[in-house]
């Protein structure tokens, strides 16, 4: 029975993780402080894996990681972190962390990551083709590179838009054309790229996905093209780059416009000559790789602004696919929602039958700013909180279950390519409401303060399209405090 140590100062997180992992055959210990964690590690030297929150009271994940690695260098440590800490988490991986998991936590991802850590610790990492939605990170590779095969999680639907999308994939898939995929964040661009790979003659070869936005400027060349031992400070071993790993198969470069000018120059040489040279190397390595790129902004416009090389754009522009935003294919929303519920049922070992009529109405009228990724996360969270046969509105995040009350006249879209349609909320859905309760002579100063605070929270949430991370940052509080304040207002308002 694998032994797992959870380090988190949040009692609720510890409780849920403990219950979930115990159910799946793990022996679990908890530590709410770094001091307690070290004590448990010293008392039980047989832990197999550690789950550690990045933000700990009185310390942080970096300090905790160093303490663990000093005493137990071979013990895999998985960092739990929020979206705002991704770059820090990546840096921690370079310091010895095995991987990181983003909040909100999802059962399938937790199990997959822990299993990968356990496999690596006994030297049994496997990289053969798989057909599930699991992503495998090779032992000599960076976290931003995800090796996977035939993942079609987002490739289905009933709309005419979906049918057109599939016809484009079927048309270009069997060719060796480079493809540009345009679409908003969370719309399923990587899944589209994987489906193209699946339809190609390279389907049994590697599919390597790179998030260019997460590559640091200093190490992007090494991550993409590899490096030789001693080529720069810290290069203690030879590294195989992502292009070399993808040789024979397909490489997918997401948010490619984030690459620096210098890396774009090197990439142009790779695309033109179909060979690469590792950083610090003297030998050219032949390449046979199909390149698929993605962006949420038009690369031609980026080229006109000097942000993206025009010659590189023309090299890639052999075929273009536009992935529609979820709000523009409303007839597919419940199809996706039911699919995500089936996946959540599998991960949670539940038998939830579906969604209440109220939830279906909310889903179909809500403007999904985060597209499929947001819908997937909402369904997973709701499934975790649901004990009955159907998901009810009370299990949804506040800004979604109260969407009609909070909606405003015009949804401001941010820097969308002109090919996308700006959405205007239907007049029937717009309500002019007062956000605060009526003040009376008996209202306490505390209640009045909460009302005013809540009005400010709503105002900021609307300004950032209900992105809670951005709202918390603007309010100078953390996400947990923001959630707690919203819950407090709900409790008071429902008395």
The reply to whether 131 falls in a domain is: no
SS3 137: coil
pTM: predicted TM-score of the whole model, two decimal places? 0.54
405-to-102, 327, 437, 458 alpha-carbon distances in Å: 30, 19, 14, 11
**Whether pLDDT at 153 is above 60:** no
Going by pLDDT thresholds of 50, 70 and 90, the confidence category of residue 226 is confident
304 and 343 co-located in one domain: no
Phi, psi at 292, each rounded to 5°: -120, 130
- The pLDDT-based confidence of 465 (bands split at 50, 70, 90) is confident
Are residue 269 and residue 336 in the same domain, yes or no? no
Confidence of residue 443 (pLDDT cuts 50, 70, 90): low
Mean pLDDT of 95-100: 82
- 253-277 per-residue burial string, b: 16 or more CB within 10 A, e: under 16: bbbbbbbeeebbebbeebbeeeebb
The Cα 270–Cα 253 span in angstroms is 14
Both 203 and 227 in one domain: the answer is yes
Across the range 419-444, mean pLDDT stands at 41
Question: Do residue 421 and residue 356 come from a single domain?
Answer: yes
Percent share of the chain, pLDDT over 70: 78
Q: In degrees rounded to 5, what are phi and psi of residue 250?
A: -130, 140
Say yes or no to pLDDT of 17 above 80.
yes
Q: Tell me the two tokens of residue 218.
A: 């200093």
Q: Identify the domain containing residue 182 by its residue range.
A: 160-322
Helices vs strands, H then E, count in the chain: 20, 17
- Of 415, 422, 186, 208, the residue nearest 323 (C-alpha): 186
pLDDT at 337: 92
Pair 391, 472 in one domain: no
Element containing residue 276 per DSSP (H, E): strand 275-276
The confidence band for 314, taking pLDDT boundaries of 50, 70 and 90, is: very high
- Does residue 303 sit in the same domain as residue 168? yes
Q: Is the confidence at residue 242, as pLDDT, over 80?
A: yes
pLDDT for residue 416: 42
- Residue after which a domain boundary falls, among 433, 453, 479: 433
- In DSSP notation, 230-258 reads TSSTT--S-B--HHHHTTTSEEEEETGGG
DSSP state of 201: T
- Measure Cα distances from 264 to 137, 256, 261 in Å: 25, 9, 5
Q: Residues 99-144: pLDDT tens digits?
A: 888 776 777 778 888 888 887 654 433 323 323 333 333 333 333 3
Question: Could you tell me if 464 and 485 lie in one domain?
Answer: yes
Split at pLDDT 50, 70, 90, the class of 12 is: confident
| Whole-number pLDDT of residue 250 | 94
What's the confidence (pLDDT) of residue 356? 94
Q: Is the pLDDT of residue 439 over 50?
A: no
Domains: count for the chain:
4
Distance CA 97, CA 103 (A): 17
Give me the CATH number covering residue 403. Answer: 1.10.8.60
Residue 407 CA to residue 410 CA, distance in Å, equals 9
Q: Tell me which residue has tokens 């996905």.
A: 209
């Amino acid at each position: 029975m694998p032994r797992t140590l959870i380090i988190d100062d949040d009692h609720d997180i510890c409780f849920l993780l403990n219950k979930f992992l115990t159910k799946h055959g793990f022996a679990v210990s908890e530590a709410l402080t770094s001091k307690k964690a070290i004590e448990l590690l010293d008392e039980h030297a047989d832990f197999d894996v550690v789950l550690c929150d990045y933000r700990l009271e009185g310390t942080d994940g970096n300090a905790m990681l160093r303490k663990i690695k000093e005493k137990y260098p071979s013990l895999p440590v998985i960092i739990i972190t929020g979206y705002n800490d991704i770059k820090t988490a990546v840096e921690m991986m370079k310091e010895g962390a095995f991987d990181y998991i983003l909040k909100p936590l999802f059962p399938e991802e937790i199990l997959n990551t822990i299993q990968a850590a356990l496999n690596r610790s006994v030297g049994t990492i496997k990289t053969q083709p798989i057909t599930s939605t699991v992503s495998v990170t090779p032992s000599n590779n960076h976290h931003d590179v995800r090796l996977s095969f035939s993942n079609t999680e987002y490739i289905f639907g009933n709309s005419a838009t979906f049918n057109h999308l599939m016809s484009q994939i079927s048309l270009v898939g069997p060719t060796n054309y480079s493809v540009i995929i345009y679409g908003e964040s969370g719309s399923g661009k990587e899944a589209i790229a994987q489906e193209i790979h699946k339809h190609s003659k390279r389907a049994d070869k590697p599919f390597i996905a790179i998030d260019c936005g997460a590559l640091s400027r200093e190490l992007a060349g090494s991550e993409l093209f590899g490096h030789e031992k001693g080529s720069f400070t810290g290069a203690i071993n030879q590294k195989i780059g992502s292009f070399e790993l993808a040789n024979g198969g397909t490489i997918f470069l997401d948010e490619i416009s984030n690459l620096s000018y210098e890396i774009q120059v090197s990439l142009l040489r790779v695309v033109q000559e179909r060979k690469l040279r590792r950083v610090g190397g003297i030998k050219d390595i032949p390449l046979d790789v199909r390149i698929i790129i993605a962006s949420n902004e038009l690369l031609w416009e980026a080229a006109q602004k000097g942000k993206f090389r025009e010659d590189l754009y023309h090299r890639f522009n052999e075929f273009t696919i536009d992935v529609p935003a979820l709000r523009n294919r409303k007839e597919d929303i419940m199809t996706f929602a039911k699919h995500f519920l089936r996946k959540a049922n599998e991960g949670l070992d539940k038998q939830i039958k579906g969604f209440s009529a109220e939830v279906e109405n909310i889903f179909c009228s809500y403007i999904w700013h985060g597209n499929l990724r947001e819908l997937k996360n909402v369904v997973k969270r709701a499934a975790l909180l649901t004990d009955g046969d159907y998901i009810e509105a009370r299990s949804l995040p506040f800004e979604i279950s109260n969407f009609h009350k909070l909606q405003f006249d015009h949804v401001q879209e941010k820097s969308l390519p002109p090919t996308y349609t700006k959405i205007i909320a239907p007049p029937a859905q717009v309500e002019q409401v007062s956000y605060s309760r009526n003040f009376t002579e008996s209202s306490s100063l505390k209640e009045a303060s909460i009302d005013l605070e809540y009005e400010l929270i709503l105002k900021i949430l609307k300004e950032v399209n209900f992105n809670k991370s951005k709202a918390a940052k603007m309010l100078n509080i953390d996400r947990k405090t923001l959630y707690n304040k919203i819950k407090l207002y709900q409790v008071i308002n429902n008395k």
